[in-house]
Chain A
Amino acid sequence: MVNSLGVDAYQKFSDLFLHLIVENDKSSGYASFVSRDPDQLNVDALAQEAISKTSKEEPFQIEPGEYEVILEPYAVSELLSFLGYLGFHALAVQEGRSFFSNRFGEKMADEKVTIYDDGLDPEGLQVPFDFEGIPKRKVVFFDRGVAKEVTYDSFTGGREGKESTGHGLIAPNTAGPIPINLFMKAGESSLEEMIRSVRKGIYVTRFHYTNVVEPMNTVITGMTRDGTFLIEEGEIKRPIKNLRFTESILKALSQVTAISRDRKVCSEGTVYSRRFVTGTVVPAIKVEGFNFSGVSAL
């Protein structure tokens, strides 16, 4: 990246992305991996992870409604990415279409929830500078549940007399400085403890085909996929038919009751036909009262 203002920045990198789906006639399972370091790839472990989500049993149909849920990192990553696109950046705030507009300093999520962007953290897919050659800075969106700050590129920064935080995307970018290295702070629970603490709830591996319903209320809808289970009395009891959820992300984040210690790097690999190196680093979360609005059943 070189320009007439004296920017001269260079980074060489590669990344490896693999995801897999396994299927039998009753169910399917998913696992994915992304890293800068191909030596980290363990195909057997990934296959085991995906296979563990399948079942020989016919999935059971449950009634839609509000349930306690455990969302695996794949699902949490999706929630964070939507927040990033909808409102964690200056353009959305400046245009008055961000859920953050006029709400900085307000507690909008549970105090266990800290969400930030950090292009320099080697746990994620590190990139030292943005598409304008500006060094990346850490930006904290939610600090223990409180709305704090958003990302800027030089254009949105210039409007407010602020400096870019290093979040410029590929020009011409009309969507705003959307953060692409999102992190959610880890918690203190193990996934097993989280499952054990659920009396009746739903375990979600992954979401599918999510889309925005009401942007200002961060309401999105989508389906569960590749491993949805009923949890009863602290145990994963049986596979269930995929459910449609229609829920406000911010409402869900204000009802987080546990967060896992372990985090995972999640990346979907391509956005339409382009490989776009973006990855979130997220834990599993437990949420009270998550709204499922339908079920996939003929």
Chain B
Amino acid sequence: MKAFVENILDVAKLKGVPYADIRIVRRQNEEIEVKNGKVEALIHDEDVGFGIRILFQGAWGFACSSKVTKREMEAVFAKALKIAKASSKVKGIEIMLPSSSPVIDQYRTPVSIDPFDIAPETKLNLLLHADEIIRRNKKVKISEAFMGSYKTEKIFASTEGSYVDQEIVECGAGIAATAIEGSEVQVRSYPNSFRGNFATQGYEWIEKLGLQTEAERMAEEASQLLSAKPCPSKITTLILDHSQLALQIHESIGHPIELDRILGTEASYAGTSFLKPEMVGRFRYGSELVNIFADATQPGGLGTFGYDDEGIKAQRVPIIFKGILANLLTSRETAHHLGKESNGTMRADGWNRIPLIRMTNINLEPGDWTLEQMIADTEDGLFLTTNRSWSIDDKRINFQFGTEIGWEIKGGKLGEMVKNPTYTGITPNFWNSCDAIANRDHWQMWGTPNCGKGEPGQVAHVGHGAAPARFRNVQVGVMK
């Protein structure tokens, strides 16, 4: 493989292109889904290919192929160069890459048990057992369990002399109980909705998730929700559990800080951002308690890697420091807008896509409280957990979330369960209303395996660390 790579980079240099890189990527995915005691899906797929990116006359060209041969690489190089030349005729601003010193390195996700070494039967047994426990509850009409294992082997090499070889292993699992009675349908999921929780860890992590241990509680909560009272409609104090807070961070901090989005390159898809580069160092995003890091080095995070798809080393970067916007997610091409170097966030969804700025692990630093103290300190409010729906506008200002379940807080104690909870707010107002964050004992990583961006579409796996946190004066119970 190395000989192929060296050959194509030599071709690039001979053609006089100022910069070119190649990524060779092999991905394996295995997904298993069981429902009501039956195997609904067991998929194993694998693909391999390469993509060549060329900077020529201040514009990008990209082409790719699944035929990994020397001759095909040369043909794909020629195509990418043609595209770069065409792009340069309509370029807005000249793309410049600051010089970068070459890196030769390797990175492997540290795992004890490779999930691909575990037989599908073993995985099925775990899922079917959890699924069976859920169905013992008579009000539960749909029981589901899911497991996914992913392995990416990738080589990045550039005309600057970098050669980075990485293997990223990820896995995750989850269960869901759907209780139905008349026209009332309620779902409870563990450890998170939309298929569970995911991490760059080995199968040992799935064994520790406790799907079977929590199955009965999920079934019970789903059936209790059928007769729970509706979420009240009012302005109140909100305590979000860390899984819901993870998505709140994702949508209202993680996406708005992507510098390519800020510069407009995502406008025709999911939109832009209310942030501007000149707000860095000045803008009060949240209260003094709010500290956010983009941390691609966080062990086990779903957005953890060794190097990004431009060969930039994984970093831990302060994004919001004591409530003030301190930095943005950048690439080699965009970092100069901040007078900085790339903080290593460029990732592509496989070999047939160009890298984009993607969240790594966007983590909210823990505070000093215990969750119990936080609830005890709250006179009147709501405690919500597990995301059910999410929506945010094309500038990331107005959000609305729904969760699977909530409990009222009255006089410092958790009270009655509420169904169909929703809350809505304006991004900076919401983060400025944060007045308590739970401590490191309550802090954990959540994986978001379905982060969409770009056209043609790309899905990224990103992570969020969070502990439960409290927000004041939040509108809950939208449209009641």
Chains A and B are bound partners = yes
Q: Are A221 and B391 in contact (CB under 8 A)?
A: yes
- Cβ-closest chain B residue relative to A209: B391
Q: Are B398 and A294 in contact (CB under 8 A)?
A: yes
**Interface status of B349 (Cβ within 8 A of chain A):** yes
Interface string of B414-458 (1 = CB under 8 A from A): 000000101010101000000000000000000000101001111
Q: List 19 A-B contacts (CB under 8 A).
A: A28-B394, A95-B180, A96-B185, A97-B142, A102-B183, A209-B270, A209-B391, A209-B392, A213-B389, A214-B420, A226-B394, A270-B456, A271-B457, A273-B353, A273-B457, A293-B424, A293-B478, A297-B397, A298-B428
Q: How far is the CA of A212 from the CA of B193 in the complex (A)?
A: 14
Q: Are B267 and A28 in contact (CB under 8 A)?
A: yes
Interface residue count on the B side (C-beta < 8 Å): 46
Interface string of A206-238 (1 = CB under 8 A from B): 001111111110010111011000000000000
**Interface status of B75 (Cβ within 8 A of chain A):** no
State how many angstroms separate the Cβ of A135 from the closest Cβ of chain B.
Answer: 26
Residues in B with CB closer than 8 Å to A20 are 268
In the complex where A174-B40, A272-B450 touch, is A21 in contact with B397 (Cβ < 8 A)? no
Closest 4 CB pairs between A and B?
Answer: A172-B41, A273-B457, A223-B393, A21-B268
Q: Are A223 and B41 in contact (CB under 8 A)?
A: no
Q: How far is the CA of A101 from the CA of B33 in the complex (A)?
A: 25
- Cβ-closest chain B residue relative to A19: B268
Q: Are A213 and B402 in contact (CB under 8 A)?
A: yes
Interface string of B249-274 (1 = CB under 8 A from A): 00000000000000010011011001
Q: Are A222 and B397 in contact (CB under 8 A)?
A: no
Q: Are B349 and A273 in contact (CB under 8 A)?
A: yes
Interface string of A278-296 (1 = CB under 8 A from B): 0000000000000101111
Residues in A with CB closer than 8 Å to B391 are 209-211, 221-223, 244
Residues in B with CB closer than 8 Å to A294 are 398, 400, 424, 478
Write the residues of chain A forming the contact surface with B, with a CB cutoff of 8 angstroms.
19-21, 23, 28, 95-97, 101-102, 172, 174, 208-216, 219, 221-223, 225-226, 242, 244, 246-247, 269-275, 291, 293-298
Write the residues of chain B forming the contact surface with A, with a CB cutoff of 8 angstroms.
33, 35, 40-43, 141-142, 178, 180, 183-185, 264, 267-268, 270-271, 274, 349, 353, 389-395, 397-398, 400, 402, 420, 422, 424, 426, 428, 450, 452, 455-459, 478-479
Q: Are B141 and A172 in contact (CB under 8 A)?
A: no
Residues in A with CB closer than 8 Å to B428 are 298
State how many angstroms separate the Cβ of B21 from the closest Cβ of chain A.
Answer: 21
Q: How far is the CA of A246 from the CA of B458 in the complex (A)?
A: 28
State how many angstroms separate the Cβ of A208 from the closest Cβ of chain B.
Answer: 5
Q: Are B459 and A273 in contact (CB under 8 A)?
A: yes
